[in-house]
Structure 1
Amino acid sequence: MTPKASHADIVMEATQSTSAAAKSRVAASWHRSVIKHGLDPDEHRAPDRIEQKSLQFRMETLEKFMTVASPRLDALFSLVGQSGCAVFLTDTDGIILDQRLSDADAMAFEGWGLTTGADWSEEKEGTNGIGTCLTEQRHVIIHQDEHFYTRNTGMSCIDAPIYGSNGQLVAALDLSSARADQTEAFNRLIAAQVAQTARAIEAANFRAAFSSARIIVAESDDAEASTLLAIDESDLVIGATREARRVFGLQRTGDLVARPATDILGREDGPTGFEKAEKAAVIRALARAGNNVSQAARQLGIGRATLYRRMKRLGLEDS
């Protein structure tokens, strides 16, 4: 009887296969872990942890982002904490900066090395939810023996990337479980909530970054992405989320060069642009005044007769 292959044997066999990496994203990550990072799947060392001073610096650098993210982490944990899951937030290097876990599960996750300050980059831990999510910049589920290290095969990890207001990757949201009975079907169910939470954090962070701007929610074919534009008082687009940049063909990262919203949203603009703006202002004033022309004129700082003339010129005299 042929003995059952060990996890390390399976990983190494897939790594040496010329076709496995092309067919499977997990195998591609295993390949990177061995060939690029020089890792051994049977290594049993504990995950690396950075010094407290370095951790504090990283947390201070992302302080505003973490403040925005915190209540969303709480909400996610309130949904999954009783099922033996823990929630983690990392920076782009895979360093865990914040966590939510129950007291009953704390020792188990500490034993796995899932704790603040731990380095879960793919470079250090091979294929895992956090590191592979950050490397491939996509939502991932790494279920038990899909992990690179044998010592990590008892875990299931569901992760989603989070992008900052400048379109660049800023963090990874991780939900991990060390329950042996956790199924792939349950993982897929949880993954939708993780993606929704990541999207909520991204949107809240974007709104905080452009707190004085008007935020427009645009349509996208990606239901798991935040498609937001920030528009200033001059109707110039001054900010866009990563998905909005893709949808509207804007520069992928960095500060945007301000552009008229009409240009980006595809509405007509040209010689009548000022007339349209004037018409919109008159309509708003009339609406606020309950169609009382005298009151609307006072709001606009003009005389009643002047407003009547403008309404006639703008085609609003019948309104």
Structure 2
Amino acid sequence: MAASPSTHAQLIQASWARCRDYGLDPGSAPDFDSLNASALRALLQRQQALLQMTRDEVMPQHASLLGNSSYLVMLSDAQGCLLDAWGTRRFIDPRQQHGFTAGAHWREQGVGTNAIGTALACGAAVHVGHDEHYLRQNRFMASAAAPLFDAQRQLVGVLDVSSDSYLPASQTLGLVRMMGQSLENRLILAQFGTLHRQLLFNTGPNNLDSSWAGLLVFDERGQVLAANHRADSLLGQNPLQRTLEHLFQTPLARLLAQPEARAFALQATGRNRFHCLWKAPLASKTGAWPATGGQTGDPRVDKALVQAGVLLEKDIPLLVQGETGVGKDVFVNALHRASSRAQGPLVAVNCAAIPAELVEAELFGYEKGAFTGAHHKGSAGMIRKADHGILFLDEIGDMPPPAQARLLRVLQARCIQPLGGGEPVAVDIRVVSASNRDLSTEVRAGRFRQDLYYRIAGLTLVLPPLRERSDRRALIEQVHAQYREPGQPHRLDSDVLELLLRHPWPGNLRQLSCVLQVALALAGARPVGLEHLPAAFLAEQLDVPPAGRPAMASDLASLLSSAQGNVSSVARSLGISRTTLYKRLRELGLDPNRIAG
């Protein structure tokens, strides 16, 4: 929580008093006490998850708010050590440039009153104006900073926005608080959002999707497991370990009876009335897999999830096999979110998508000047980026033999040697590989190294195709709910659902997602009908022998009826010839003239 205007002056005065106690001279240069290269490298590896979340999710979301002003956004750890910075450096005093690079410390003891150090000292968001810096050399800028907290409300870092502009303190402070709240929300959801429902609430109905909404994550009993600080402010109390019934005077069943992601009103304990919406666990939105330990409805999938979760924690490599589109990548994402490395990176490498001549450079990294066309600064490589996290090697069967040999050495030694020389670097990774090929067959055919196969296949998990899964109905309903727009029917018509259940799904979950997205887009506000399903999908139905599938007759009859018996029109919609359609009609005993009549 930021300091109120009435106490801001007191915060600055208290900071200046501390600086005097530290023996700082206002005329002296700041001491940033920068880390050496090896200590910095270790720190950045430990903080990779926080860095990645800030860089890839929070910064793009708020870039428009920064506009074209000369801002610099800085992220530090909980000790005030700078991890990274984004923005312009044009306004920085040339004497201070080294203080704005990773490894520099911004503690009050060395840098005097400053936004990062003072936010750490007082545990609250704070704005430090130009002349409020204790050291004169820092008075070229004004800064605002907010402390960052994880799902356990432990301090994990500080976010700072600095500028040479004389903008209102409230504007910069509001921006950094919003960015900090956005990051806190993401840290909470990364840990709890996969398995548990969320309740978002705010004073108005139009800002429930903003980072400034209150966020509660709750279990099946309605007990609050995690909450952001905005929730504290709105409720006037810390909601952790309380129940939703206690906080909002509403039975849990009545709250969950509200349509998901649809705003409704709740009366909080006291006189406050909030606009709210609830969301299902993030894992249920994948349309394929819950987090490890969850139940999908298919015994084979449940067994694979449990086994994979146990062995991943014991550093036993996993090989996931299955047809194209069964959701191998989603499976691995669910494993990552439920693992002890959820806060670490998940680095996915599609071995089939990288040109053969670049696979080694992309995986293992390279020193500057290692080869023509390489980036002049070199590259760490995908394996090093996965340090303290999970490396997911998708379509590993397509990896060229030279890269297979190097990968084997890395997995044996857990140490990587970049192309072009340089010192070997130790890596701490868990390895999950995937392929739509049977790699044991590839080994026997001499197309995949046997020694690498045994290194990556500590346990081989075969994911069933969609047509064999016993939870097909639930999956279809989940994917429909995922892509359904507000205002569209909540349920699929029974004839469409039955058609989807019988389909062979050669493209598996990927095809199911595509078919339903197309159908929903074409249907608009109307229920999805047979006429909204893609022609290629319907043609696949005709390619399946009709024996044992008598309902196919009713499907074709519905299409013919909609087309007033126009066989040519139906054939075009199915992407087949009139001759093929007539042949199938005869097999099914259908007369288009009678149907039209």
TM-score range, shorter chain: 0.5 to 0.7
Q: The residue matched to 2:29 in structure 1 has which SS?
A: coil
Q: Unaligned stretches of 5+ in structure 1?
A: 1-20, 282-286, 296-319
Looking at structure 1, the residues matched to 245 and 219 of structure 2 have their Cα atoms a distance apart, in angstroms, of 13
Q: Is the 8 A contact 1:76 1:87 kept in 2?
A: no
The answer as to 2:188 corresponding to 1:209 is no
TM alignment of 1:1-319, pairs within 5 A: 24-35=10-21, 37-70=22-55, 71-77=57-63, 79-80=65-66, 82-102=68-88, 108=94, 111=97, 113-177=99-163, 179=164, 182-185=165-168, 187-212=169-194, 213-219=196-202, 227-244=214-231, 247=235, 249-250=237-238, 260-268=243-251, 280=257
Shift of 1:243: 4.4
Between the aligned partners of 1:77 and 1:25, the Cα distance in structure 2 is: 29
> Tell me, what secondary structure is at the counterpart of 2:198?
strand
Q: Is the 8 A contact 2:30 2:110 kept in 1?
A: no
Shift, 1:61, TM fit:
2.7
How far 1:138 moved relative to its partner?
Answer: 1.8
In 2, distance between residues paired with 1:59 and 1:230?
29
Q: Distance in 2 between matches of 1:184 and 1:107?
A: 19
* 1:242-287 Cα distance to aligned partner (Å, 9 max, x none): 4445747448xxxx65x64324443358xxx8xx79x959xxxxx9
In 2, Cα distance between equivalents of 1:237 and 1:66: 28
Q: Cα gap change, 1:198/1:290 in structure 2, threshold over 3 Å: closer, same or farther?
A: same
Q: Is the 8 A contact 1:248 1:264 kept in 2?
A: no
How far apart are the structure 2 equivalents of 1:101 and 1:109?
19
- Listed one character per residue, the Cα deviations across residues 59-103 of structure 1 (whole Å, up to 9, x for unaligned) are 333322222221322444554373222110111111111110337
- DSSP 3-state at the match of 1:238: strand
Q: Is the 8 A contact 2:82 2:106 kept in 1?
A: yes
Distance 1:164 1:109 in 2: 35
1:315 corresponding residue in structure 2: none
Shift of 1:122: 1.6
**1:165 CA displacement:** 1.0
Q: For 2:96 and 2:231, how far apart are their aligned partners in 1?
A: 39
**Which structure ranks higher in relative contact order (CA pairs < 8 Å, sequence separation ≥ 6)?**
1
* Distance in structure 1 (CA, Å) of the matches to 2:492 and 2:76: 52
User: What is the distance in 1 between the residues matched to 2:227 and 2:8?
Assistant: 34
Q: Secondary structure at the match of 2:68?
A: helix
Pairwise CA distance, 1:228? 1.5
State the distance in 1 between where 2:19 and 2:243 align.
46
Q: Which amino acid aligns with 2:50?
A: F
Looking at structure 1, the residues matched to 143 and 106 of structure 2 have their Cα atoms a distance apart, in angstroms, of 12
Q: CA deviation at 1:22?
A: 10
Number of residue pairs matched by the alignment: 252
Letter in 1 for 2:131: D
**Aligned alpha-carbon RMSD (Å):** 3.7
- Identity rate, percent: 25
Once the two structures are overlaid, the 10-residue window that deviates more, 149-158 or 260-269, is: 260-269
- Summarize the Cα distance change of 1:183–1:115 in structure 2 as closer, same or farther, 3 Å threshold: same
CA distance in 1, matches of 2:243, 2:9: 44
The 8 Å contact of residues 31 and 110 in structure 2, kept in 1 or not, is answered as no
**Aligned equivalents of 2:244 and 2:8: distance in 1?**
42
Decide whether the 8 Å contact of 1:80 with 1:86 is kept in 2. no
| Cα distance in 1, alignment partners of residues 71 and 222 from structure 2 | 45
One-letter code of the match for 2:133? Answer: H
Q: Which residue identity lines up with residue 235 of structure 1 in the other structure?
A: G
Q: Distance in 1 between matches of 2:221 and 2:106?
A: 44
TM-score by length of 2: 0.37
CA contact (8 A) 1:86 1:176 kept: yes
Larger Rg belongs to: 2
What residue is the counterpart of 2:338 in the other structure? none
- Contact kept? 1:77, 1:100, Cα under 8 Å: no
Unaligned runs of 5+ in 2: 1-6, 204-209, 259-488, 498-597
What is the CA–CA distance in structure 2 between the aligned matches of 1:168 and 1:162, rounded to whole Å? 8
- Structure 2: how far apart are the matches of 1:262 and 1:22? 37
